[in-house]
Structure 1
Amino acid sequence: MRVGFIGTGSMGSILIEAFIQSGALNPEHIVATNRTISKVERLAATYSGLKVARSNIDVVRDCDILFLCVKPVEFKAVIDDIKDEAAPEQIIVSITSPVLIRQLEDLLGSKIAKIIPSITNFVFSGATLCVYSDRMADEDIERLENLLSHISAPIRISEENTRISSDLSSCGPAFLAFFIQKFIDASVEETGISREEATQLASEMTLGTGKLLTTGGFSPESLQKSVAVPGGITAEGLHMMEKELCGLFNNLIHTTHAKYEEDLEKVEARFFGTKVE
Structure 2
Amino acid sequence: MNIGFIGTGSMGSILIESFIQTGALSPEVIIASNRTSGKIDRLAEQFNGLVKANSNIEVVQLSQVIFLCIKPSEFKNVISEIQPYVKPSHIIISITSPITIAFLEDQLSSKIAKIIPSITNYVMSGPTLCIFGERMLQEDILQIENLMSFISEPIRVSEKFTRISSDISSCGPAFFSLILLKFIRAAVDETGIPYSDANRLACEMLLGTGKLLTTGGFTPGELQKRVSVPGGITAEGLKLLDLKLDGVFNQLIHITHAKFEEDMAKVNG
TM-score tier, shorter chain, comes to over 0.9
CA-to-aligned-CA distance 1:84-112 (integer Å, 9 cap, x gap): 11111111000011010000000100000
Equivalent in the alignment of 2:18: 18
The alpha carbon displacement at 1:41 in A equals: 1.1
Work out the CA distance in 1 between the residues paired with 2:188 and 2:24. 42
Q: Does the aligned pair in 2 maintain the 1:33–1:55 contact within 8 Å?
A: yes
Q: Distance in 1 between matches of 2:36 and 2:73?
A: 17
The answer to whether the aligner puts 1:185 opposite 2:185 as a matched pair is yes
CA-CA distance at 1:51 after TM superposition: 0.2
SS of 2:204 mapped into structure 1: helix
Structural mapping, 1:76-87, within 5 Å: 76-87=76-87
Does 1:68 pair with 2:68? yes
1:158 is the counterpart of 2:158: yes
The residue that corresponds to 2:49 in the other structure is 49
Does residue 139 of structure 1 match 2:139?
Answer: yes
Structure 1 residue aligned with 2:220: 220
Judge conservation of contact 1:6–1:67 (CA < 8 Å) in 2.
yes
Structure 1 CA distance for aligned equivalents of residues 107 and 217 of structure 2: 45
For the residue of structure 1 that corresponds to 2:85, the secondary structure is coil
Q: How far apart are the structure 2 equivalents of 1:239 and 1:90?
A: 54
Give the distance between the partners of 2:190 and 2:118, measured in 1 at CA.
33
Matches within 5 A, 1:80-159: 80-159=80-159
How much does 1:38 deviate? 1.6
Report what 2:7 is aligned to: 7
Provide, for residues 179-208 of structure 1, a one-character-per-residue CA deviation record: whole Å limited to 9, x for no partner. Answer: 000000100000000100000000000000
> What's 1:265 paired with?
265
Amino acid at match of 2:80: D
Deviation at 1:17, TM superposition (A): 0.3
Distance 1:244 1:132 in 2: 40
* Alpha-carbon distance in 1 for matches of 2:245, 2:85: 52
Cα offset, 1:268, TM superposition:
2.1
Q: Separation in 1 of the partners of 2:268 and 2:29?
A: 34
Tell me the secondary structure at the aligned position of residue 83 of structure 1. helix
State the TM-score, normalizing by the size of structure 2. Answer: 0.99
Amino acid aligned to 1:129:
L
Q: Secondary structure at the match of 1:87?
A: coil
Quote the offset at 1:244 in angstroms. Answer: 1.0
Deviation at 1:123, TM superposition (A): 0.3
- 5+ residue gaps, structure 2, are none
- 1:61 is paired with a residue whose SS is helix
**1:123-149 C-alpha deviation (Å, 9 max, x unpaired):** 000000010000001000000000000
Structure 1 unpaired stretches of 5+? 270-277
How many residues were matched structurally?
269
Q: State how far apart, in whole Å, the 1-side matches of 2:84 and 2:213 are.
A: 47
What CA distance in whole angstroms lies between the structure 1 residues aligned with 2:28 and 2:199? 39
Which AA in structure 2 matches 1:258?
A
Deviations 1:217-272 (A, max 9, x none): 10000000000011110011001111111111111111111111111111123xxx
- Tell me, in whole angstroms, the C-alpha distance in 1 between the residues paired with 2:13 and 2:46: 12
- Structure 1 residue runs of 4+, over 2 Å off? none
Shift of 1:64: 1.1
Alpha carbons 1:37, 1:54 under 8 Å: kept: no
Distance 2:151 2:101 in 1: 23
Contact 1:5 1:32 in 2 (8 A): yes
Residue identity over aligned pairs, in percent, reads 62
What code does the residue aligned with 1:50 have? Answer: L
Letter aligned with residue 233 of structure 1:
I
TM-score (norm 1): 0.96
In 1, Cα distance between the equivalents of 2:268 and 2:2?
A: 31
